[in-house]
Structure 1
Amino acid sequence: MFKGALFDLDGVIANTADLHFKAWQKLARNYFKAELPIELEEKTKGISRSDSLQVILDSLKITLTSTEFSHLANEKNEIYKAYLDKLTVADILPGIDNFIAELKTQHIRLALASASQNGPVILQKLGLATAFDTIVDPKQVAHGKPAPDIFIAAAQSLNLQPVQCIGLEDSIAGITAINASGAISIAIGDAAKLKAAYKIVADTTQLNLATVTAVFKH
C-alpha cells in the first residue's frame, strides 16, 4: 500500500483550470488588445504564473521589462482571485470528495503540490483545507513543473519518499514532474496527451482507492 497522495489542484481537485486561462485572456485584451489562441491553454496548464506569462508573451511576440512583467503577473493574479470569490464546494470535481474520504480512511497522507500560490485559499473555499496534511508553497521550491521539485518537496513534507506516493495531475508538465520525482503518476484527462503517465483515467469519477492501489501494486 502506498502511504501518500500528492495532488495537483487545478483540474484535479476543482474546476479552476479554466479560470486561469480566462484571467490570462482578460489580461491580454486589457493590455495588448489581443485574443489568445485556445491552444495556449494547454501550454500554460500546470506551470507557474511567471512561466505561463512568458509562454503568452512569446506567442504574442511581446517583450517586457522586468518591472512590467512583474506588474502583469500580479495583475493576472488579481483577476484570477476575483473569479475565485465565487468558488464553492459545488466546484469540487465529481468524485474527488469521496476519493479523498477513501484515502483518509486508510490513513493515506495527503499533500497539495500545485503551482498555484492560491492553493490554501482555494482549499478553504472548497471546504477541503483540513483534509490535507500539508500544502507545498510553490515559491519555496527552486524549479517549477515540469521539474520534479514540488513533488519531491510534497513527499518530504509528509515524511515520505516519492516512491511511497502516487501523484495526480491533469497536465503534461505535471506528469513529467511526477515521473521525474519517482512517484507513481496518475493522469486525469486525454490519454493521447497524457500518455507518459503510469495510469490514465478519463475523469475524476474514475478515481477510487481500488484503482490507485492496484496501480501502486504493479
Structure 2
Amino acid sequence: MLEHMKGAIFDLDGVIVDTAKYHFLAWRLLAEELGFVFTEEHNERLKGVSRTRSLDILLEIGGMEFSEAEKLAMADKKNRLYVEYISGLNESALLPGVKEYLNSLRARGVAIALGSASKNAAFILDKLNIAGLFDAVVDGNKVTLAKPDPEVFQTACKELGLQPGECVVFEDAEAGVAAGKAAGMLVVGIGKPEVLKEADLVVAGLHEL
C-alpha cells in the first residue's frame, strides 16, 4: 500500500515527536490549581482530541463546571504552560526514523502534509528543524472539527491537490485512525496493534518503515 501512495499525511504528537508528556504536565498543573488530581491514566482520554474538548474532559474528571469565558481563560493558560515546556525542543526530540523517512518520501516524489489538532504545529515543526519537509501544514488553526471527524485529513488532502484514495495517514491515536478511515484513506497506525485495530498496517514507529 505504501509503494503506490502519492501523499503522506502525518499526525504530530506520537508520530513525529512525543509532546504528549508536555501536554500531560500542563493539564496536571491546571488540575492541581483547581484542587484535584489528574493522572496519566486520565490523560489517555485526551489523546488526539482538541484543546477545548480536552478541557471539558478534564473538568468532567474533576467534577467541576465553569462558564465559557472561564473555560476559555483556562484553555489559554494551559496553552501558555505547554508552550513554555516545548520552547526548548530541538531536532533531538524527533522520534526515531522520522527525518530519514520524510527524506525518503521526498526523494520518491511523495507529497507530505501534517494533519494535527495542535494549534502549535508550525511552531513545533520549526523547533524540530523539519518545517521545510512539509508541502502543507493543516492544524487546529485551519480546522474546527476534532478527530475522529475527518476534516483535518480531508483539508490536508485538498491542500496537496490529491484524492483521498491517493493518500496514506500516519496516526498513533484511535480517534485519528477513525478520522483517516472516515476520510477514505489508508491508515498506518503507529503504536500497538491491539489498540489501533482499525488501521490497515501497524508499526512501532516510522523507523520500521
TM-score for both structures, normalised by structure 1? 0.92
Match of 2:29 in 1: 26
Q: Distance in 2 between matches of 1:42 and 1:193?
A: 12
Measure how far apart 1:205 and its partner are.
1.9
Q: Given residue 3 of structure 1, which amino acid in structure 2 is its aligned partner?
A: K
Q: Given residue 21 of structure 2, which amino acid in structure 1 is its aligned partner?
A: D
* Structure 2 unaligned spans of 5+: none
Match of 1:91 in 2: 93
1:16 to 10, 19, 23: 19
After superposition, residues 27-66 of structure 1 pair within 5 angstroms as 27-30=30-33, 32-66=34-68
Q: CA RMSD in A?
A: 1.0
Moved more, 195-204 or 147-156: 195-204
Match of 2:175 in 1: 173
Q: Distance in 1 between matches of 2:206 and 2:82?
A: 23
1:3 to 6, 16, 38: 6
Q: Could you give the per-residue CA deviations for residues 128-167 of structure 1, whole angstroms, max 9, x where no partner exists?
A: 0110001113233241111001000000000011211010
Q: Given residue 17 of structure 1, which amino acid in structure 2 is its aligned partner?
A: A
Match of 1:212 in 2: none
Match of 2:200 in 1: 198
8 Å contact kept, 2:91–2:127 = yes
SS at match of 1:68: helix
1:113 to 112, 115, 122: 115
Q: Distance in 2 between matches of 1:16 and 1:188?
A: 15
8 Å contact kept, 2:15–2:171 = yes
Match of 1:145 in 2: 147
Q: Given residue 182 of structure 1, which amino acid in structure 2 is its aligned partner?
A: G
Q: Distance in 2 between matches of 1:111 and 1:173?
A: 18
Match of 1:214 in 2: none
Q: Distance in 2 between matches of 1:13 and 1:72?
A: 27
Q: Given residue 27 of structure 1, which amino acid in structure 2 is its aligned partner?
A: L
Paired residues in the alignment total 206
8 Å contact kept, 2:8–2:168 = yes
8 Å contact kept, 2:165–2:185 = yes
Identity %: 38
* Structure 1 unaligned spans of 5+: 209-218
Moved more, 66-75 or 142-151: 142-151
TM-score for both structures, normalised by structure 2? 0.95
Q: Could you give the per-residue CA deviations for residues 82-123 of structure 1, whole angstroms, max 9, x where no partner exists?
A: 001110100000011100011000011111100000000000
